[in-house]
Chain A
Amino acid sequence: MIEIKNIKKSFGNKTVLKGIDSVFFDGKCNLIIGASGSGKTVLIKCMVGLFQPDNGEVLYAGKNFFDISNVQKKNIRKEIGMLFQGSALFDSLTVEQNVMFPLEMFTNDKYSIKRKRVNEVLARVNIVDANKKYPAEISGGMKKRVALARAIVLNPKYLFCDEPNSGLDPQTSLVIDKLIREITTEFNITTVINTHDMNSVMEIGDNILYVFQGEKEWEGTNKDIILSKNEKLNDFIFASAFLKDAKTMRTIQETGVIPEGIKEELRDSIEENLNIDLDKDGFIGKN
């Protein structure tokens, strides 16, 4: 479990994080969502120690990352895997060498054992016959999967993913989401994902933290999001007319009540699409 308490961070005169508290649970996909520039990348970088927060604590299993010795920090870092937005694979190394890198740096295993482990994790992320290829020779989706393999090769306790779906098509995004979800539950990892991909939010958002202009605006699960009345959250998540309609329909499905203010045409459309009858109060099947 990771806990953050009152995290504040400024760059010059600009305050990016204004005191954020949250808890990220083991075996769950913990999502940090927010618009571009809301501070979510800075928050994740504070959590992994790439930025030193001006104030606040990041507690890994109860130990504040910024109060412990360098040796302890190194030990925690060995338990962290991170998937970067641009994959951050080492250009000069092959796929196999990239995944083997943490093993070479931190273990004294024989080459055959390391190679076996590399093949295991590459198979786990569905990469086959690409061991000898260089990052420039593989697709964006494959790069993300190789980076994921590198992040989990040392069996981390904590997995951080910075916009894992950026630049990927919706289908590949779902594959990556599914993989992250499976790996998280399979190895009971505390996974923290920074995203603004709404498919990810709905698919894998076990625990969601919505950051708005450097502050925690909302927290809940992907089920809560549908029913949430937080205007800022709704404006962010259901930004398009299509998504607003989808939310309305899902809300009706979940609650059986039509939200107030809905237009008559939409009401007709819902009745037609869901093949249900709504009474004048918006309840299903009463008339």
Chain B
Amino acid sequence: MKIIKEFGQFIKMFNGMFRTPENRKMYWKQFMLQCNDIGIGSLGIITIISVFIGAVSTLQTAYQLVSPIIPKTTIAQIVRDSVILEFAPTLSCIVLAGVVGSKIASELGNMRVSEQIDALEIMGINTKAYLILPKILAGLIMIPLLIIVSMVLGIWGGRLAGNLSGIIDASIFDKGVLMDFLPYNVIFALTKSFVFAFLITAIPAFYGYYVKGGALEIGKASTRAVVVACVLLLLADYVLSFLML
């Protein structure tokens, strides 16, 4: 029953976002601010996890492919496809759900509790459109870009680890990465990242916007937002993989 109520409230919130802006310039400013927060703000963590994911993938793949009849280029192919299909979009987005999601939920929650949202409402500003929509739009643009960066860095991390550990030479890795490359995989990964971006931004925004109480409730809302976003993200991952692969 609670889920149905929350879903109804979510739809209502979503519907309320699409109104004519009071001042387009201010909305644009807010959008750019969110792009900076979500995109540039998350670049550091995405860089670190992507490089390490790629590196670990190379080492673990090489560890499992012990047969001399399997060419070493296969390691690069496996790393490439794992990174593009799963690691870059899914793992990065789970991390982003924690980083970006908790920030959105706690920011809006704090604004709600400290009556900043009420102050905006009284000024005649549509707070759903002004506070939530720019976050979702910024997420839809910046998160897929972060995923592209993650893919590149993940593969580069794998190449670096392979080369440094002496498992696979850089030139062989490069050859393997280009071998039998399917551009559709990138399209699939980007489709996932759009869906994930929506979940990462919209769900925490919902929990933060409707928070009631004080600091404790903000913390609870933030945790709940991240948990729900992660669960839905994994569910969406399965559904999209089932439908598109």
Same complex origin of A and B:
yes
Decide: B124 and A82 in contact? CB cutoff 8 A: no
Does B116 count as interface, using CB distance less than 8 angstroms? yes
- Contact between A104 and B23 (Cβ–Cβ < 8 Å)? yes
Across the interface, name the chain A residue whose C-beta is closest to B29: A104
Inter-chain contact A80/B26, CB cutoff 8 Å: no
A227 at the interface (CB under 8 A from B): no
Is B23 in contact with A105, judged by CB distance below 8 angstroms?
yes
Complex Cα–Cα for A131 and B52 (A): 45
**Which residue of chain B has the shortest Cβ distance to A162 in the bound complex?**
B115
Q: A88-B116, A105-B26 are in contact. Are A80 and B110 (CB under 8 A)?
A: no
Q: Return chain A residues, CB-CB under 8 Å to B99.
A: none
Contact among B25, B26, B110, B118 for A84, CB-based, below 8 A: B118
> Is there an interface contact between B122 and A48, defined as CB atoms closer than 8 Å?
yes
The reply on A187 being an interface residue by CB < 8 A is no
Residue A155, interface by CB 8 Å:
no
Q: Across the interface, do A50 and B114 meet the contact criterion of CB distance under 8 Å?
A: no
Distance (whole angstroms) from the CB of B36 to the closest CB of chain A: 12
List residues of chain A with CB within 8 A of the CB of B6: none
Given contacts A85-B115, A88-B115, A105-B26, contact A50 B125 (CB under 8 A): no
Given contacts A91-B110, A105-B22, contact A74 B124 (CB under 8 A): yes
Closest-CB distance, B202 to chain A (whole angstroms):
21
Interfacial chain A residues near B70, Cβ < 8 Å: none
Find out whether the CB atom of A80 lies under 8 angstroms from the CB atom of B122: yes
Knowing A105-B23, A105-B26, A106-B22 touch, does A78 contact B115 (C-beta < 8 A)?
A: no
Interface size on A, residues (CB 8 A): 23
Contact in complex: B124, A88 (CB < 8 Å): no
B141 to chain A, nearest CB (A): 21
Q: Is residue A77 within 8 Å, beta carbon to beta carbon, of the partner chain?
A: yes
Please measure, in the bound complex, the distance between the C-alpha atom of A105 and the C-alpha atom of B121, giving whole angstroms: 13
Task: With A104-B23, A105-B23 as known contacts, state yes or no: A86 contacts B124, CB within 8 Å.
Answer: no
> Would you call B119 an interface residue if the criterion is a C-beta within 8 Å of the partner chain's C-beta atoms?
yes
Q: Most chain-B Cβ atoms within 10 A of its Cβ — which of A49, A90, A105?
A: A105
Chain B interface, number of residues (Cβ within 8 angstroms): 15
Q: A149-160 vs B: 1/0 string, CB under 8 Å?
A: 000000000001
**Given A50-B122, A91-B110, residue A86 in contact with residue B26 (CB < 8 A):** no
In angstroms, how far is the closest chain A Cβ from the Cβ of B124? Answer: 3
Q: Is A102 an interface residue (CB 8 A)?
A: yes
Tell me the smallest distance from the CB of B134 to a CB of chain A, in Å: 14
Chain A residue nearest to B118 in the complex (CB): A50
Cβ contacts B121-147/A at 8 Å (1 or 0 each)? 111110000000000000000000000
Are B23 and A82 within 8 A (Cβ)? Answer: no
From B26, B115, B121, A104 is in contact (CB under 8 Å) with: B26
Q: Write out the residue numbers on chain A whose beta carbons fall within 8 Å of the beta carbon of B110.
A: 91
Decide: A50 near B123, CB < 8 A? Known: A88-B116, A104-B23.
no
| A74 and B123 alpha carbons, distance in the complex (Å) | 8
Chain A residue nearest in CB terms to B130: A105
The docked-state distance in angstroms from the alpha carbon of A91 to that of B110 is: 10
Complex contact B123–A102 (CB within 8 A): yes
Nearest-Cβ distance from residue A102 to partner chain B, whole angstroms? 6
Chain B residues lying within 8 Å of A82, measured Cβ to Cβ, are 118-119, 122
Contact with A along B7-49 (1 / 0, CB 8 A): 0000000000000001101100000000000000000000000
**In the complex, what residue of chain B is closest to A107 when comparing beta carbons?**
B23
Q: Report the bound CA distance from A90 to B116 in whole Å.
A: 6
Query: Which residues of the other chain, A, contact B26 by a CB distance below 8 angstroms?
Result: 104-105
Are A77 and B123 in contact, with the CB atoms below 8 A? yes
Task: Among B26, B116, B124, B125, find the residue whose CB has the most chain A CB atoms closer than 10 A.
Answer: B124
Contact A88 B118 (CB under 8 A): yes
A75 to B22, CA, bound (A): 12
Contact A77 B115 (CB under 8 A): no
Q: Smallest CB-CB separation from A150: which chain B residue?
A: B119
**Complex CA distance for A116 and B211, rounded to whole angstroms:** 37
Mark each residue of chain A from 82 to 111: 1 if its CB lies under 8 Å from any CB of chain B, else 0.
101110111100000000011011100000
Q: Provide the bound-state CA to CA distance between A115 and B149, in Å.
A: 41
Once the chains bind, are A78 and B116 in contact (CB under 8 Å)? no
Minimum C-beta distance from B27 to chain A (A): 10
Within 8 A of A (CB), among B92-123: 110, 114-116, 118-119, 121-123
Which residue from chain A places its CB closest to the CB of B113 in the assembled complex? Answer: A86
CA distance A218 to B123 in the complex (A): 31
Q: Which residues of B line the A interface, CB within 8 A?
A: 22-23, 25-26, 110, 114-116, 118-119, 121-125
8 contacting pairs across A/B (C-beta < 8 A): A48-B122, A50-B121, A88-B118, A88-B119, A91-B116, A101-B123, A105-B125, A106-B123
List of 9 A-B pairs having minimum Cβ-Cβ separation, nearest first: A77-B124, A88-B115, A88-B119, A74-B124, A84-B115, A82-B122, A105-B23, A88-B116, A78-B124
| 7 further interface pairs, Cβ-Cβ under 8 Å (given A78-B124, A91-B110) | A49-B121, A49-B122, A50-B122, A74-B22, A75-B124, A82-B119, A88-B118
